[in-house]
Amino acid sequence: MLSDLIFRPFSLVEYDKIIELWQDCGIAARTGEDKDSINRIDQMNPGLFILAYTNNNLLIGTVYATFDGRRGWINHLCVANEYRKYGLASLLLNKVENELIQKGCPQINLLIYPDNSYNLEEWYGKRGYRTRELLFMYKQTNANN
């Protein structure tokens, strides 16, 4: 199955398909993930938004990351339910990690919401990620309004 996959970079015309896949995977587009913001993020982070398609052009997986020159962040990694357990998530993660490393990224971070139902802490742990207890804070602005 993985040998028939096609990987492409983000394209703004695919935005609605991406959001639909995220929703099917239980990922809600959050503040700053509207069409214009995602396009701007992609332009600032070339090569870090990767889409996986079947050979009949069905979008089945996405990963997007950002890099600020100091730390990389995995923002969303998802695979369509019917294509899970074939290693596609690992493949997408490896691809985006390699892109980050090529950009000189010394550390890759990610956040897992406590209500996730996929045991992601264990899954990422098997791929070398470690847990760090910390207090996460943020401030919402109206910059995109």
pLDDT tens per residue across span 100-123:
999 999 999 998 888 776 789 899
2 has pLDDT over 80: no
Q: Look at residue 92 and tell me if it is in a domain.
A: yes
pLDDT of residue 145: 56
**Mean pLDDT across the chain, nearest whole number?**
92
> Is the backbone of residue 66 left (phi > 0), alpha (psi -120 to 50) or beta?
beta
Q: Look at residue 136 and tell me if it is in a domain.
A: no
1 has pLDDT over 70: no
144 has pLDDT over 70: no
Q: Look at residue 141 and tell me if it is in a domain.
A: no
The CA distance from 46 to 40, in Å, is: 10
Q: Look at residue 131 and tell me if it is in a domain.
A: no
Q: Each residue of 2-25: b (16+ CB within 10 Å) or e?
A: eeebeeeebeeebbebbbebbeeb
The CA distance from 140 to 62, in Å, is: 26
What pTM, to 2 d.p., does this model score? 0.91
Q: In the chain, how many domains are there?
A: 1
Domain CATH code at residue 50 = 3.40.630.30
* Residue 125, H or E segment: helix 120-125
pLDDT of residue 140: 83
Give the residue numbers spanning the domain of 69. 2-125
28-42 pLDDT per residue, tens: 888 889 999 999 999
Q: Look at residue 39 and tell me if it is in a domain.
A: yes
